[in-house]
A and B are shown apart, each in its own frame.
Chain A
Amino acid sequence: MHHANHFYGHAHVLARYAGLGDGHPPRINGYVQHGWNIGDGLAPGHPYAEGTPSLLWSEQTRRRAWSVGRRNVTVIGAPFSYLLAMADEPESPQRAGTIWYPFHGWEGQHVEGDHERLIAQIQDTEPGPVTVCLYWHEHRMRRVRRRYENAGFRVICHGYRGHWWTNTDPDFLDRQLTELRQHARVASNRLTSAIFYGIAAGCAPAVYGNPMVLANEDPTFGGTARIRRQWPELHGEQVHLPTAVEIARAELGIDHRYPPAALRELLGWAYLREETT
């Protein structure tokens, strides 16, 4: 299995949904898109075997992937959508405040931007209590964490996404869903997976503030400028909720979610030859 399939415990969520239990997930015959993506669904720079299936979140990503030369691309929906299918929302959820995701790069990237200005903007905009969710390596940076804590925000981290099959937190998405369902709003300075997860989990979205460009950001697919051009409806401090829900539904491929038996076939899990405990 490609190690990126384990990021954020995606393979674990899919295995649970497919009825294979909570153990170590079996090898997936393909690459599962591991984050919302304005490219072909696969992370640039990762080594991929030609012709191996790409298991993508949305139909739009599938078309785009095909147009840039990918083949054997199939839409299965985001692993988060499978988690939603497994975890029913409490009947009377107690939601309050905003969960805010300052944009993060991955471990090898460095965000350039002014956290102080962003904090001020969050304080000016958000009406209720704010929970700031930092990416794991920013959360480990005491300096960054303190800035948000000193602003009066609750600071959390959903966990470590894992790398090369080690230290993967299988409960990452569960923890994220639980947090999202405790908040009325989800916000970020960039349109990212978390915003779509938040919308799908019942939060009102907002995208505002300095997008904090990455040093040496890959411009192949257009970067933040293209994101703002293509999804202007999702940018702003207040967003039209029905439109956002519709877009999130498409981007997470909620309608493409398969039942467990079909998912087992698509992931190559129909005939397992390894212990799955």
Chain B
Amino acid sequence: MTTETAPTVALPGGEMLTWSDQRAEGGNRPLAALAARLVPAGAKVLLAGPADPAVLDALGQARVTCLLRGYPDAAAVAGRVDRVVVAGAAGLPYGAEYDVVIAAGGLDTVESVEGTRLGWGGVLARLAAVVRPGGALLLRLDNPLGVHRLVAASGWYVGRDDAEWSVGGVLDDSRPANLEQLRLRLGTAGLRLGDCYAGYPHPEATTALLATEALARQARSGLFDAVLHDACTSGYAGRSVLADPARLAVDALYAGRAADLAPSWLVLAHRPDTGGHQPMTILAATAPTAATATGGPSAVTATTAHGDATAPGDATAPGDGAGRLPVAVLWAGRSGGRIVEVVDGPHGWHWHRSGPVVPRSAPAPYASREIAQLDPAAPHGPVPDGRLLRSLLLDGCLRRDTALLRRLLRGYADWLTGQADHGRLTGAVALAGVDNLVVAGDRFAVLDPTWRADEPLPVDVVLARALWRFATDLLTGGYAHPWTSTLDVAGLTVVLGGVAGRDFDRAVVDAALDIEAAVRRGLHADRAAGPDAEPVTPTDPPPGRHSYQQLRDAWLRQRDENTRLAAALRWTEELLTSRERALRRAEAKLDLLSGTVGYKLARLAITPARMARRGAGAAKRRARAALTRKEGTGE
């Protein structure tokens, strides 16, 4: 931030003196990364709504004005930005213009309780008015039909929290409820819709921004599948939901509707340049160039995630895709806390990392083994294409396509074996689960090689660990599968190993669980409490999630198991009765036979032999005892 003038806090009226919009959770680091790409050094930026610290960090070289409604929030950022206006949208000075306006929290958090009520449309009109020709608006819009709404345990209309003095929803005409409506509203405000991103897993805690066009085109992408599954699994941990948001999000992806069901959208809109303004190109990375560092009037050039110019400025996208907006911006919280981008280039998608790697804290004191090591250089290079192995396996289980399962699991096991050195594996392949492996034809690849094992692990243990994790998901998730309900998780792991052509038993699964526990301790060393590899039963709901649907499914599984056990018990009782009856008959027959003359004669005949045998046994015992005593005296 420039420090030419002392930071000032303007109070034009409409401020909320005791209100704060700062929240403990979340932040939108992917948005911050995108902002860093969009905003050149020296650009004039308006941050409307709560000032996300990550966004402030990303705009280090820009001239930032914050529009906040709560005075405590203004006081908190006053030293970090050029200017703070504490008011609703109506408090923006007329005549002010900005190169970029960012409403990272949407428009609801811009409006104050004081003064005239503008509504969503009114706030948009006010913000659009301060985007200067050639400039851009980066806006978040929450989706009334997003995954978060579909799985919410409470209705969106029941809010009674302090911030819900007005509940905006799909019934409000002035508020767009989809991207097409948003395009029209922006057009009315004089802006043109450019790039769009789907924000997952939750509007208040976005960890993945995925280009909507790419989502629609790449409905089978292993990368998107893995990202959505991971984001919606970890993003809803501890929340009570109606159904599994990860399942819903991945299903939406496969249906080509992941953008439609995104919890929020982040859009880039432009005010058309009426001429006379110097175009401002999108930066390839966070480092400012010498040209852009000088600042001055500029215009943001819109390029799509595929490099197609959509707004005046004619910035040509470089051949390596460096000037394009990424197709995905991901906050990898578990990977040392860093932003990872996926950029489309002439040779397909490739990884691009931006921002410094946040060093991990020291391992937890109980972490005796550091199995998982963070590779500071990863991920890099091309993003391997193909379907996510986890989804392929689930599909095979649901359709009971055992031929497909055999082909996939044998291919996976052979692929592991092919990379082993003396039967042991190191590197990313030793830790990658089926939710981090993609398959294209017969080719397997690790999607994200960030975590690696330096300690060589036996191939069967690596395989068993991946299969145990999958078996846990399969059973606790209630997925239909081709095997008997009598298998527990470890048993199913052994069976899956058999499908893969491997003959390992529970001892190998136990070894794999030791590795799993060590890996989890390593991965969650910087968290207060990471999930343990606790043993689960097939009638448990998925660990770490609170989904009513999955709880009910688990209850149904328990009921079925009880029914099965009761039927087996009845059958066993009947069989026992039948066998007892047969035994009684046999005993009666023995009694009958033992009273016959033939039996008595035979008994008389063998009595001498039995006595002789008994005497021989006693003599043998006596002799052995005597020998023992003799040896005991030391002779």
Interface on A for B, CB 8 Å cutoff?
29-30, 47-53, 55, 59, 62, 72, 74-75, 255-256, 258-266, 268, 270
B485 at the interface (CB under 8 A from A): yes
Contact with A along B504-546 (1 / 0, CB 8 A): 1110000000000000000000000000000000000000000
* Complex interface residues of chain B between 481 and 498 (CB less than 8 A to chain A): 482-487, 491-492, 494-495, 497-498
Residue B502 CB within 8 A of the other chain: yes
Q: Which chain A residues lie closer than 8 Å to B239 at the CB level?
A: none
- Knowing A260-B503, A261-B497 are in contact, say whether A50-B400 is a contact too (CB < 8 A): no
Question: For residue A48, which residues in chain B have a CB less than 8 angstroms away from its CB?
Answer: 571
Q: Which of B498, B499, B568 contacts A51 (CB 8 A)?
A: B568
Looking at B483, B485, B501, B506, the one whose CB has the most chain A CB atoms below 10 A away is B483
Contact A53 B484 (CB under 8 A): yes
Which residue of chain A is the closest to B508 with respect to CB atoms? A261
Given the complex of chains A and B, what is the CA–CA distance between A173 and B564 in angstroms?
32
A55 to B495, CA, bound (A): 14
Tell me whether A59 and B567 are in contact (CB under 8 A).
no
- Ordered by A's residue number, 30 sampled pairs between the chains whose C-beta atoms are within 8 Å are A47-B571, A49-B568, A49-B570, A50-B563, A52-B564, A52-B571, A53-B484, A53-B486, A59-B400, A62-B400, A62-B482, A72-B564, A74-B483, A256-B402, A259-B497, A259-B498, A259-B501, A259-B503, A261-B494, A261-B497, A261-B503, A262-B495, A262-B497, A262-B499, A264-B494, A264-B505, A265-B491, A265-B494, A265-B495, A270-B494
Closest to B582 in A: A164
Q: A255-B406, A265-B487 are in contact. List 5 more A-B contacts (CB 8 A).
A: A49-B564, A49-B570, A51-B560, A72-B485, A261-B503
Residue of A nearest to B502 (CB): A259
Chain B positions within 8 Å of A270 at CB level: 491, 494, 505-506
Chain A hits for B486, CB < 8 A = 29-30, 53, 72, 268
Query: Given the complex, which residues of B lie within 8 Å of A262, measured CB to CB?
Result: 494-495, 497-499, 503
Bound form: Cα–Cα A274–B506 in Å: 19
B403 adjacent to chain A (CB < 8 Å)? yes
Partner of A30, one of B482, B484, B497, B570: B484
Q: Which of B402, B501, B502, B560 is close to A59, meaning CB atoms less than 8 Å apart? A: B402
In the bound complex, how far is the Cα of B482 from the Cα of A51, in angstroms? 14
Q: In the bound complex, what is the Cα–Cα distance between A68 and B391 (angstroms)? A: 29
B103 CB to closest chain A CB, in angstroms? Answer: 54
- What's the least CB distance linking B557 to chain A, in Å? 12
State how many angstroms separate the Cβ of B314 from the closest Cβ of chain A.
Answer: 60
Instruction: Give the chain B neighbours of A29 by CB distance below 8 A.
Output: 484, 486
A261 to B503, CA, bound (A): 6
A261 and B406 contact, Cβ closer than 8 Å, known pairs A49-B571, A266-B484, A266-B487: no
- Complex: A47 Cα to B568 Cα, angstroms: 11
Number of interface residues of B (CB under 8 A): 32
Is A51 a contact of B487 with CB atoms below 8 Å?
A: no
Cβ–Cβ contact A258 & B495, under 8 A: yes
In whole Å, how far is A262's beta carbon from the nearest beta carbon of chain B? 3
Q: How many A-B residue pairs have CB under 8 A?
A: 86
Q: How far is the CA of A260 from the CA of B505 in the complex (A)?
A: 9
| B491 and chain A: residue at smallest CB distance | A265
B491 touches A72 (CB 8 A): no
Q: Nearest-CB distance from A260 to chain B (Å)? A: 6
Instruction: Determine whether the beta carbon of B503 is less than 8 Å from that of A51.
Output: no
Separation in Å of the A55 CB from the closest CB of chain B?
Answer: 8
In the complex, what residues of A have CB within 8 A of residue B563's CB? 50-51
Contact B497 A266 (CB under 8 A): no
The 4 closest A-B pairs by CB, nearest first: A262-B498, A51-B564, A259-B503, A49-B571
Instruction: State in angstroms the CA–CA spacing of A72 and B506 once bound together.
Output: 23
When distances are taken between beta carbons in the complex, the residues of chain B under 8 Å from A268 are 486
Find chain B residues with CB under 8 A from A30 CB: 484, 486
Cβ A261 vs Cβ B564 within 8 A: no
In the complex, which residue of chain A has the Cβ closest to the Cβ of B504?
A261
Complex-state Cα separation, A48 to B564, whole angstroms = 11
Chain A residues with Cβ under 8 A from B492's Cβ? 265
Residues of A within 8 A of B403 (CB): 255
Q: CA separation between A104 and B49, bound complex, in Å? A: 85
CB-CB under 8 A from B400, the residues of chain A are 59, 62
CB < 8 Å neighbour of B482 from A50, A75, A259, A263: A75
Instruction: Tell me the minimal C-beta distance from B585 to chain A in angstroms.
Output: 13
Task: State A75–B503 Cα separation when bound (angstroms).
Answer: 18
Which listed residue, B498, B504, B567, B574, touches A50 by the CB 8 Å rule? B567
B31-66, CB under 8 A of A: which get 1 and which 0? 000000000000000000000000000000000000
Which of B485, B501, B506 touches A53 (beta carbons < 8 Å)? B485
CB-nearest residue of chain B relative to A268?
Answer: B486
Do the beta carbons of B495 and A266 come within 8 Å of each other? yes
A255-B498 Cα distance, complex, nearest whole Å: 11
In the bound complex, how far is the Cα of B345 from the Cα of A263, in angstroms?
A: 49
Docked pose: A245 CA to B484 CA in angstroms: 28
CB-nearest residue of chain B relative to A265?
Answer: B491
One digit per residue, 1 when the CB lies within 8 angstroms of any chain A CB and 0 when it does not, for chain B 549-571 equals 00000000000100110011011
In angstroms, Cα B564 to Cα A52, docked, is 6
In whole angstroms, what is the CA distance A227 to B180 when docked? 59
Q: Given the complex of chains A and B, what is the CA–CA distance between A259 and B409 in angstroms?
A: 14
Cβ contacts under 8 Å, A263 to chain B: 498
8 Å CB contacts to A: which residues of B143-194? none
- Chain B residues whose CB sits within 8 angstroms of the CB of A74 once the complex forms: 482-484
CB contacts (< 8 Å) of A59 on chain B: these are 400, 402
Cα distance, A48 to B502, chains bound together (Å): 33
Which of A49, A72, A256 has the largest count of B CB atoms less than 10 A from its CB? A49
Query: B399-422 toward A: CB 8 Å interface, digit per residue (1/0)?
Result: 010110010000000000000000
How distant is the Cα of A72 from the Cα of B406 in the complex, in angstroms? 20
Output the nearest chain A residue to B565 by Cβ-Cβ distance. A51
Q: Chain A's nearest CB lies how many Å from the CB of B119?
A: 56
CB neighbours of B487 from chain A (8 A): 265-266
Q: Which residues of B contact A53 (CB under 8 A)?
A: 484-486
Complex Cα–Cα for A47 and B578 (A): 13
